[in-house]
Structure 1
């Protein structure tokens, strides 16, 4: 009888230990890590979507504003730099690599804004349907990039917090000793808003002197 009780006690312990570990948060770190990684993949996807739009945008602008070769060249070079930055799973835990990636993307955001702005000087370009469609797609993509970056930062903050707070810090030091904090996107003026250009006609000059009455 005593041996049966001991056997039942051991079986109960085997059953209860996983439940107790789950209650102590042993699965919290990998769960939050996977969420952060999924958010990072979404950021990369949105940036790639933007890169895919740029060649057609450049060619459309060149057809109406070929003399703007400096800005066009800057856009092409910035796109090349952004797409050539090596990105893999280790990027989010490597401060230097992450900074290179963010800097390249921010540079591209800036030159795209200048490219769109020059359309103000070319009425035919502003009314071109292909340009309007590309500009709309680009603005939509920039908005999705902003959302993806925000979601990524939120997921990373949550994950990083789990690495240094009780009780999950216990698992971070033992079961998940290889887990490292992830990097955050830092806000910059160029990343706060999508490049945009107004297609509204200029407002009338209300400061002009009134016309002289007829004599």
Structure 2
């Protein structure tokens, strides 16, 4: 019995073990998971953008004198839907921060709208839409948390041995950018005043 036919099989097995130890499969898996979580973030921001025209129409029907705030909400929504970040651009902190800034402008305009319309809270359509938007904001927070967790997993995978070897050699992997609070004062909870404070 000759050892020659066994040698290539043994080399292939050794190569397979070595490659699996270098993160050959774990790196794309972690990257795709992070990209999927990014898609969830974008989906929830899109849901919010889709709800805003209904909210604006409801408020507009209640009174035309508050046109300025309606214009701000509409413009913020339009600006936010123009800023796109693809899964391949998640390694560029500037693009992720620009996306976050545009989405924060929508959040701030919605807060102004809610503060400016206390009398609308009694209208059923307004209350339902604001409830939907509140739920969407919660979904966005959860999606962002899940995305940050996936990014942390990916970034850890490409920076730890032995996967770091495969990340550099086979994929040229770069760290992805997690979401961070970019709004000044975001670390401080806002004060809520319903007009009944003394």
TM-score class, shorter-chain normalisation, is 0.7 to 0.9
Kept after mapping to 1: 8 A contact 2:48/2:136 = yes
C-alpha deviation, 1:106, in angstroms: 0.6
C-alpha deviation, 1:41, in angstroms: 0.5
C-alpha deviation, 1:32, in angstroms: 0.6
Kept after mapping to 2: 8 A contact 1:50/1:138 = yes
Kept after mapping to 2: 8 A contact 1:26/1:171 = yes
C-alpha deviation, 1:103, in angstroms: 0.5
Among 183, 186, 191, the alignment partner of 2:180 is 186
Runs of 4+ in 1 over 6 A off after TM superposition: 190-193
Q: Does residue 76 in structure 1 map to residue 56 in structure 2? A: no
C-alpha deviation, 1:18, in angstroms: 1.4
Kept after mapping to 1: 8 A contact 2:23/2:164 = no
Kept after mapping to 2: 8 A contact 1:146/1:191 = no
For structure 1, the 5+ residue unaligned runs are 208-215
Q: Does residue 127 in structure 1 map to residue 122 in structure 2? A: yes
The alignment's TM-score, normalised by the length of structure 1, stands at 0.81
The alignment's TM-score, normalised by the length of structure 2, stands at 0.87
1:213 is aligned to none
C-alpha deviation, 1:183, in angstroms: 1.2
How big is each residue's C-alpha offset from its partner over 1:98-156, in whole Å with a ceiling of 9 and x where there is no partner?
22111000111111011112221x2xx21211111111110110000000001111111
C-alpha deviation, 1:188, in angstroms: 4.5
Cα distance in 2 between the residues matched to 1:191 and 1:27? 38
Q: Does residue 155 in structure 1 map to residue 150 in structure 2? A: yes
C-alpha deviation, 1:61, in angstroms: 1.0
Paired residues, number: 195
Among 155, 158, 171, the alignment partner of 1:176 is 171
1:58 is aligned to 56
SS at match of 1:86: coil
Among 105, 115, 118, the alignment partner of 2:116 is 118
How big is each residue's C-alpha offset from its partner over 1:57-113, in whole Å with a ceiling of 9 and x where there is no partner?
011011113211111110010000000113323331222222211100011111101
Kept after mapping to 2: 8 A contact 1:82/1:101 = yes
For structure 2, the 5+ residue unaligned runs are none
C-alpha deviation, 1:15, in angstroms: 3.0
1:13 is aligned to 11
C-alpha deviation, 1:191, in angstroms: 6.7
